[in-house]
Structure 1
Amino acid sequence: MAVPKKKTSKSKRDKRRANWRRKASLEAEKALSLGKAVLSGRSTFVYPTEEEEEEEA
């Protein structure tokens, strides 16, 4: 027979949400930092440019 699940406490819910938001915030910060580095030209990140793609084809 189906039995309702126990309600999750607000503190447990809030901990999970805070953890999720913290992870999302860190990833967003990394992406922004990488984007700024690529635009400023001081990046060690290697990405294909249009010229390189044309040479390979």
Structure 2
Amino acid sequence: MAVPKKKTSKSKRNQRRAHWFKKAELQAQRALSLGKSVLTGKANGFVYPTKEEEETEE
């Protein structure tokens, strides 16, 4: 027979939510850092086409 599941405590729920928000915050920091390095031209780990390369391919 089907038995209802136990209720998750508020502390467990808050812990999971905090972990989820922390992961999102870390990804946002990485994206912002990558964007800044691309704008300054110091990006080493990110390859992207420049306008000069696009014009030479045509």
State, as a whole percentage, how many aligned pairs show the same letter: 71
Gaps of 5+ in 2: none
Aligned to 1:42: 42
Gaps of 5+ in 1: none
Cα distance between partner residues in 1 of 2:51 and 2:2: 60
Cα distance between partner residues in 1 of 2:3 and 2:18: 29
How large is the Cα RMSD of the aligned pairs? 1.6
Aligned to 1:32: 32
Write out the 4+ residue segments of structure 1 that deviate beyond 4 Å after TM superposition: none
The DSSP-based 3-state class of the residue aligned with 1:4 is coil
